[in-house]
Structure 1
Amino acid sequence: MSRRIWDSNWTMNWSMGHGAINPLGSFPEERSRLLQAIYPSLQEFCIHTLGWQTCPIEILRDLWLPLAMQLQVWQRQAWDQSQRPLIQGILGGQGTGKTTLAAILTQILNLLGLQVCQLSIDDLYKTYSDRQQLQQADPRFCWRGPPGTHDVELGIAVLQRLRQSQPVELPRFDKSAHGGMGDRALPEPIAQADIVFLEGWFVGVRPVDPIAFDTAPPPIVTAADRAFAREVNDRLQDYLPLWDLLDRLIVLAPTDYRYSKQWRREAEHRMIAAGKPGMTDGEIDRFVEYFWRSLHPELFIAPLLGKSNLSETSSADYVIEIDANHCPTRLYSPTQPDRPTQSASPAD
């Protein structure tokens, strides 16, 4: 999330007609009490860990805290029903703030007395050696990231142990290894968790009907583009057992998926201005469009938002829309009927 996130002019359109969490809450006294209790710690976290100027209290009050309270409810339901932690998926492309959201929710939930662990789909990358072999076998996999570049079985094993409340070593990935090609890092031992976040740019995404590629949007324009898109679509099948371990899914969706290219340019320009290596605009275009060819947002993300029937994907539990400045502007639930929805009180 960019530093515009604490703009004093920020407002949230909560789209109450689509089942969003009521910002006033069905229990405002409880929310107000928690807000006062956690704000000092969140302020310190935002300043010292995230490098922000302050903690945006409006977003804390109207988005982060309500989501954390809803997660607390879902965690209790998972425990009461199956004596296991809640496995929460978070999907978001580059610049949407998925990692930041997971970190902030983790801080809030820790303050509420819950143990939380974070796992990124990036942590499940295949080893450097395995990815080199993949690229030699199929040069189209020239970047790490698309389906086919992850150790799905490792992810399944980790989530299954967590679901069974067993100690586990969380895999970690060092993106700087091998000159930026990346490789496995030392794992992080975890004894147990109440909530597990699995976040990534295509977490929960499912294959679409192959006929969709016959009329796919740009940059899927050539026969080679369509062949690659179909190959990646097929490889998504391998991820379904991993997605099936998720209890819930939150999607951070830019109001225009093309913002990701703009955001990447801004990030690379900042790196270059700071004297660090960075990609040229041409390299950025090729990089971003590579991922649009592999999993185009109009084909693969739209079903999760309730805006397409190209796949049998169930809609996300909540969608947070993100504007051009990385700011959340709207929260809605595509799975809910057109009526206001209020989260249950953790005290119930």
Structure 2
Amino acid sequence: MKFALGDNLFADAIENVWRANERAIAVGLSGAQGSGKSTTAVRIATALHERGLRVTICAIDDFYLSRTERLELAEKFHPLLATRGVPGTHDIALLESTLARVLSATDSDAVEIPQFDKAADDRLPYPEWRISRGASDVVLIEGWCVGARPQDLKSLVEPVNVLERDEDRDGAWRLYVNEQLANDYSRIFSTLDLQLMLRAPSFDCVRAWRAEQEAGLSRSSPNAQPPMDDATLNRFIAHYERISRWMLEDEPADLIADLDTMRAPHAWRVRNV
């Protein structure tokens, strides 16, 4: 993937916001599964480092609830919440406290940042968390649903796929997820100083991207799960489909990079959200 131009445009926007605020800022980077968010975040951070800015990257995926916590959530509210991904399956309190600590950190501070092992489908134990040392000028939060906004309740009525039709017949799961977006997630997303988006050309290419991502997962952990077969992967992606499609329509970002099917940006747009 070639993102040099994009990294510079994203880096320009971040630097401008940082200079305007004269304080540490929080920046969101969203994009569908497999769109290259993690790679882009690292390249943006590198471009900003070259300009003298200190950057800490946080992935919202690292704040998923543990498998045990999700099973408890599934038993209490809805079985579909056992699967990580949708709003409601993250530890928002941990995310908020971690971001607050990183944004306020001084040169002598160290902040523990959780790590999630997707192959094992569980959060790593505390001793294996990443340590962010020193102050940051920019905290870059990347994740597929970063910045997502709740849908109108009428939009929740019709299922978007077989999963919703057969396993969420009364709409309770999608209503729960939407309520999380309207409350805890909206609160934390509203604190972002800038929102960037890698926009997929359509949802149709997301499955292929996510399949590539699945094949590339490290399975060195003793608790690693076997790779998903096609049926399992399709069902997994179905959990994300509604919000992914909604974000492609809603475009909740200040600066958008339109991607082609090879994940290369071919157009740039500024939006007022």
Distance of aligned partners of 1:277 and 1:120 in 2 relative to their CA distance in 1, 3 Å threshold: same
Does 2:44 align with 1:99?
no
Distance of aligned partners of 1:170 and 1:240 in 2 relative to their CA distance in 1, 3 Å threshold: farther
Match for 2:185: what amino acid? Y
Distance of aligned partners of 1:141 and 1:102 in 2 relative to their CA distance in 1, 3 Å threshold: same
- Note the C-alpha offset of 1:165: 4.3
Counterpart mapping for 1:162-181 below 5 A? 162-166=102-106, 167=109, 169-175=111-117, 179-181=120-122
Does 2:180 align with 1:235?
yes
Counterpart mapping for 1:100-179 below 5 A? 100-137=39-76, 138-166=78-106, 167=109, 169-175=111-117, 179=120
Contact 1:86 / 1:194 at 8 angstroms: preserved in 2?
Answer: yes
Give the Cα separation in 2 of the matches to 1:180 and 1:91: 21
Q: TM-score, normalised by structure 1?
A: 0.67
Contact 2:202 / 2:248 at 8 angstroms: preserved in 1?
Answer: no
Does 2:149 align with 1:206?
yes
- Note the C-alpha offset of 1:324: 1.5
Counterpart in 2 of 1:289?
Answer: 238
Distance of aligned partners of 1:172 and 1:230 in 2 relative to their CA distance in 1, 3 Å threshold: same
Distance of aligned partners of 1:115 and 1:143 in 2 relative to their CA distance in 1, 3 Å threshold: same
- Note the C-alpha offset of 1:186: 2.1
Counterpart in 2 of 1:74?
Answer: 17
Contact 2:54 / 2:137 at 8 angstroms: preserved in 1?
Answer: yes
Residue 296 of structure 1 aligns to a residue whose secondary structure is helix
Counterpart in 2 of 1:183?
Answer: 124
Counterpart in 2 of 1:328?
Answer: 265
Unaligned runs of 5+ in 2: 218-224
- Note the C-alpha offset of 1:67: 2.2
Deviations 1:38-72 (A, max 9, x none): xxxxxxxxxxxxxxxxxx4xx42x32223212211
Residue 89 of structure 1 aligns to a residue whose secondary structure is strand
Match for 2:161: what amino acid? P
Distance of aligned partners of 1:111 and 1:127 in 2 relative to their CA distance in 1, 3 Å threshold: same
Distance of aligned partners of 1:209 and 1:109 in 2 relative to their CA distance in 1, 3 Å threshold: same
- Note the C-alpha offset of 1:218: 3.3
Give the Cα separation in 2 of the matches to 1:224 and 1:168: 47
Contact 2:26 / 2:193 at 8 angstroms: preserved in 1?
Answer: yes
Counterpart in 1 of 2:200?
Answer: 254
Q: TM-score, normalised by structure 2?
A: 0.84
Does 2:253 align with 1:316?
yes
Give the Cα separation in 2 of the matches to 1:176 and 1:228: 22
Give the Cα separation in 2 of the matches to 1:226 and 1:149: 17
Distance of aligned partners of 1:254 and 1:164 in 2 relative to their CA distance in 1, 3 Å threshold: same
Q: CA RMSD in A?
A: 2.5
Does 2:178 align with 1:226?
no
Distance of aligned partners of 1:225 and 1:105 in 2 relative to their CA distance in 1, 3 Å threshold: farther
Is the radius of gyration larger for structure 1 or structure 2?
1
Contact 2:27 / 2:192 at 8 angstroms: preserved in 1?
Answer: yes
- Note the C-alpha offset of 1:176: 5.6
- Note the C-alpha offset of 1:163: 3.5
Give the Cα separation in 2 of the matches to 1:268 and 1:169: 29
Distance of aligned partners of 1:256 and 1:171 in 2 relative to their CA distance in 1, 3 Å threshold: same
